[in-house]
Amino acid sequence: MNSRKHSAMIVGLSAAMLAGTLAGCGTSTSAAPPTKNISDITIGTLYAGSGAYATSSLPEYAGLKFWASQADKSGGVFVKALNKKVPIKIVAYNDQSSATTATSLYSQLISVNHVNVLVADFGSVLTSVAVPVAEENKMVLFDQSGTGTTFFTPNNPYIVLTSLPNSGLWPDSLAQYLIGQHYSRVAILYDTNDFDQSQEQTLVSKLKAAGITPVYNSGVPTSTSSYSVLLNNISHANPQAVIEFGYPNNDISFLQALKASGAQYKMVFTVFPGQLPTLFTTSDGPSSINNIYTYPAPPLISHAHVNYGMNSSQFIAAYKKATGQSTNFLNIAGYNTGLIIQKTLETANSLSQLSLRHAVSRFSGTIETLDGKFQINSEGAQTGETLPVGKFTTNSAGKVSVDLLTPLS
């Protein structure tokens, strides 16, 4: 824990340290502290300090911490229910990329730490276990990047997707591009998790509506790391375009195997180069994403109209100054989550969980951040932040650039 002279306090504990505490801890909701006794707003979250999701989780967590530090420089966030500014305190536990561990730790945040605001870890796998825990405890889950369509249902008011659209919407632009370019032979390889499978379902549906049936379509476990046999099977289908829906580790392994195979296709698409380009160029050099298609995300794309929080250039400069690090999309996603929490606290009439959720619905569609237009549907799914299709190119000096191929709405 940081010194009390810092208003944003980060508490990080490992799963092992929590084992004894959790042994007698259920998931029933305990009453929140009386409003008059609140001296800070406690935000509970998880991060993956190791394992398959660490490369995405840690920068997202860093973005959330950056938001808290920026807010506390001005005395905290204004809380309408208290009619004053209140410092932010972050309580964070390391789930080590384990959904099983995450389940216990989400319960720990609610039942033992009594956090005011609950924030999910990165991605659909680590968010999937948070959704039922939050719903059971009647706690709003501020879902940063868990975009699986199954998380959002009419009877669950306890979820808000903050920084990415529902993944069922992601392939709208991709389908539009494939159909517009008259690609009739499309191969799809996807991980069988909520995030990737919902993209596959949308893409197949839209292609079939245009009279295109994929020549290859196969799901694989998210843990897949060897793609040689899969690529050999794909080659026999003779596709024009090859689409791979995975997480960063999947994308890297897939692209490495594709390069080793020597196979050439008119179009190769993967998801995460558009969010973490430096991860890919650091792993295998700038040429590893040359001519690769993706969904470009901020800061590769910039939203011109920002009426809440920093714009892209301001964020990039401030984040660099504060951390010494360059900005990637997941830093922005974490910061954007903080902005949505901040706006919620500024809007809500009380700190009850349903009051927080109703506040989000009230300002939905009214704010534009560096991540785009924040807008949710009645189920809490993000519909305002759209993702275009883009293509990376690498010049002879190794400089990487991206060209947008579909409109940025």
Distance between start and end Cα atoms, the chain: 42
In the Cβ-directed half-sphere of 279, how many Cα atoms lie within 13 Å?
A: 24
The percentage of the chain sitting over the pLDDT mark of 70, rounded to a whole number, equals 91
Mean pLDDT of 49-71: 97
Bridge-based pairing state of the strands 241-245 and 216-220:
unpaired
Predicted confidence (pLDDT) per residue in 327-364, tens digit: 999 999 999 999 999 999 999 999 999 999 999 999 99
Q: What is the reported pLDDT for 31?
A: 42
Q: What is the reported pLDDT for 397?
A: 83
Please state whether the predicted TM-score (pTM) of the whole model is above 0.85: yes
Mean pLDDT score across all residues of the chain: 91
The percentage of the chain sitting over the pLDDT mark of 90, rounded to a whole number, equals 85
Predicted confidence (pLDDT) per residue in 258-314, tens digit: 999 999 999 999 999 999 999 999 988 898 999 999 999 999 999 878 999 999 999
Q: What is the reported pLDDT for 13?
A: 45
| Residue 374 bridge partners (DSSP) | 367
Q: Where residue 409 falls among pLDDT bands split at 50, 70, 90?
A: low
Other C-beta atoms closer than 10 Å to the C-beta of 409 total: 12
Give which of 279, 286, 196, 178 is closest to 244, Cα–Cα: 196
Q: What is the reported pLDDT for 24?
A: 35
Where is average pLDDT lowest: 3-17, 324-338, 358-372? 3-17
Q: Which amino acid is at 272?
A: F
Q: Where residue 12 falls among pLDDT bands split at 50, 70, 90?
A: very low
- Domains and their CATH numbers in the chain: 9-165+303-374 (3.40.50.2300), 171-299+388-404 (3.40.50.2300)
Q: What is the reported pLDDT for 398?
A: 82
Residue 403 has pLDDT above 90, yes or no: yes
Residue 82, both tokens: 């208290």
Q: Where residue 36 falls among pLDDT bands split at 50, 70, 90?
A: low
Predicted confidence (pLDDT) per residue in 116-131, tens digit: 999 999 999 999 999 9
Q: What is the reported pLDDT for 34?
A: 52
Check residues 29 and 233 and name the one with the higher pLDDT.
Answer: 233
Residue 26 has pLDDT above 80, yes or no: no
DSSP-assigned letters across all residues of 43-93: EEEEE-SSSTTHHHHHHHHHHHHHHHHHHHHTTSEEETTTTEEE-EEEEEE
